[in-house]
Structure 1
Amino acid sequence: MNWNSYIKEFTQYLLIEKGLSQNTIINYQGDCEKLKVYFSESEITPLNITTADLQNFIYHYSKTHKARSQARLISGLSSFFDYLLIENYREDNPMDIIESPKIGLKLPDTLSEEEINKIIDAIDLSHPQGERNRAILETLYGCGLRVSELINLKISDLYFDEGFIKITGKGNKQRLVPTNLYTENIISNYINQQRPLTPPNKGKEDILFLNRRGNQLTRVMIFTIIKQLAEKANIKKTISPHTFRHSFASHLLNGGADLTVIQALLGHESITTTEIYLHVDKTKLSEVVNKYHPRARN
């Protein structure tokens, strides 16, 4: 087999056996493709490549990419060679002794409630897609969704009578996220008033958020909507759809919510992923210590 065959098998393994999301699989496949292209004019294959070969490739890659990108590449390639080892294509993983570069803690960007309101207030509700865009932002912020979860949200996933929505997250894992009455009303208003004006294309009848041609919105379109609204609202921060998810978590934490509850709402497998929000507002941590520690009370 050639590079393409091994990479194809690897991506099928990630999808079927590991149950990873499509975005993660695309990233891992991209890592392998970079390696394939680098050695395309040599006789090096996934079966005979050595640690030294990989070190040369990573050194070349590091000249144009930052430490965080290097670390992600190394993680992807390690998974690829782990797969070859599991399938007995190789007897070792040549990535085992290659260390990732040290990267600092990357704190998520957040918006204040005032900044979020400014962005939402910048929406022109007289525009044909105005109510839709407001519903999109209120759903991101009110429910803490990933952008991939948002664009795949279905009308049949809305259980407003019971007060929650059903989310299909990474690895097709499902979770229930409570909704508040305010967000429910915004979504319902879009469904009842604006969405009927855009006939869905075949197969998209149940998709909640549609573009003006009746198709499912893309991740890029959500990014574009938010970027344009942030500029209109004169918000200088670099924000993305994920910023609303970060803000959802941070505002809950600052309001006194338990970290394990936030973990469940966000769909994080590990509490360590959620713990990054503890670093966002150190003032809140100081207040907790000073309020509850016996020495602080004396």
Structure 2
Amino acid sequence: MTADTPTTGGITRAVRTYLDHLAVERGLAKNTLTSYRRDLRRYQEYLTAQDVAELDEVTEAVVAGFLVRLREGDAEHQPLGSTSAARTVVAVRGFHKFAVRDGLAELDPAAAVKPPTPAKRLPKALPLSDVEAILDAAGSEGTSLAARDRALLEVLYGTGARISEAVGLDVDDIDLVDGTVRLRGKGSKERVVPVGSFAREAVTAYVEGGRRELVGNGAGGPALFLNARGGRLSRQSAWAVLVRTAEKAGVTRDVSPHTLRHSFATHLLDGGADVRVVQELLGHASVTTTQVYTLVTVDNLREVFATAHPRARS
């Protein structure tokens, strides 16, 4: 009986069988199959280097050692980041689970080996100058839609509202005298947050001018932000407003409604706001969610320190 037969757990044939299963039975896309093939080829190379020729010779320690090699690299391979290493481990875990299910091996040595947790991506905040350029570019045409665009973007940045919260606003939700707005967040949770003077002025100008014209184009309704037909503005249309205005302002960074929300939080913390206050303004259920923004401000402090302190540079 050769080492490459399924009954002895031949690794090469088992990998081939697994890839056929992914292609035929699970119908994975070509690019995904290419990634699996590349990851499992690297795994096979590692097993060969460890003198492991049979599936049943693979132990949990061997699989864990492969993960360490992925993260640390070797003479032939650069170390992988947590995301790429996690993807490779997922391929290995899937392979061993399949091998047991199809009778190609008795035990699954990879079951307890967990993929590394991908590094938490920091929110991308715009510099204040970019935000101001976008807001200045909005409303420059002087039309009713331009007034709406300026009011929408001022509210997004001025309150940290999610895009769904902003387009869901009714006229009665914003109190221009007290300077507050009622936002309906995830799970139908409501919160009342302050609205700054710039946003209040933009909304006042829109409500007293542009919105009246837009209401006349439709059947009317309570929505604050209206489309050209007089109906409630959609999330997709609001997103397009921001992208179009950013291009007009000459901002080359990737911009989305969430970018303004990130910028709102980051600029508050940079200005000295307490993280729990920012938590309440953003409508986060846990302060842990908000604390990711503190990582951004620490990076900013580090950059300022390295630039400004005479003994900071090597």
- Against the structure 1 CA distance between its residues 287 and 109, is the aligned structure 2 distance closer, same or farther, given a 3 Å change threshold? closer
Query: How far off is 1:138 after superposition?
Result: 0.4
Shift of 1:60: 6.8
Which digits, 9 at most, give the CA deviation of each residue in 1:220-252, with x for residues without a partner? 111211111212222111110111111110010
How far apart are the structure 1 equivalents of 2:303 and 2:252? 29
**RMSD, aligned α-carbons:** 3.5
String of CA shifts for 1:130-166, please: whole Å, max 9, x gaps: 1110001100000100000011011111123322111
**1:186 counterpart = 2:202:** yes
* Contact 2:215-2:226 within 8 A present in 1 as well: no
Match of 1:196 in 2: 212
1:67-113, Cα deviation, whole Å (9 max, x unpaired): 69x99xx9xxxxxxxxxxxxxxxxxxxxx989676322111111122
Q: Does 1:128 align with 2:136?
A: no
Q: What TM-score does the superposition give when structure 2 sets the normalisation length?
A: 0.59
Structure 1 pair 98–160 and aligned structure 2 pair: CA distance change class (3 A): farther
Distance 1:147 1:273 in 2: 18
* Correspondent of 1:63 among 32, 35, 44: 32
Higher relative contact order (CA 8 A, sep 6+): 1
Shift of 1:182: 2.3
Residue 125 (structure 1) shift: 3.1
Scaled by the length of structure 1, the TM-score of the pair is 0.62
Aligned residue type for 2:234: T
Deviation per residue, 1:20-58 (Å, 9 max, x gap): xxxxxxxxxxxxxxxxxxxxxxxxxxxxxxxx99xx969
| Percent of residue pairs identical | 35
**Which residue identity lines up with residue 169 of structure 2 in the other structure?**
L
Secondary structure of 1:238 counterpart: coil
The reply on whether 1:165 has 2:134 as its aligned counterpart is no
Instruction: For 1:277 and 1:232, locate their aligned partners in 2 and report how far apart those are by CA, in whole Å.
Output: 28
Asked whether 1:119 is paired with 2:134, we answer yes
**Runs of 5+ unmatched residues, structure 1:** 1-51, 75-95, 290-298
Closer/same/farther in 2, CA of residues 150 and 99 from structure 1, 3 Å limit: farther
On the 8 A contact 2:151/2:206 being kept in 1, the answer is yes
Secondary structure in 2 matching 1:176: strand
Give how far 1:126 is off.
2.2
For structure 2, the residue ranges without an aligned partner over 5 or more in a row are 1-20, 36-82, 91-110, 306-314
Moved more, 106-115 or 130-139: 106-115
Superposed, 1:7-18 pairs within 5 Å as none
Q: Distance in 2 between matches of 1:285 and 1:114?
A: 18
Q: Which residue of 2 aligns with 1:248?
A: 264
Deviations 1:259-281 (A, max 9, x none): 00000000001111101111113
Q: In the alignment, what sits opposite 2:223?
A: 207
Task: Find out whether 1:276 has 2:292 as its counterpart.
Answer: yes
Partner Cα separation in structure 2 for residue 178 and residue 191 of structure 1? 18
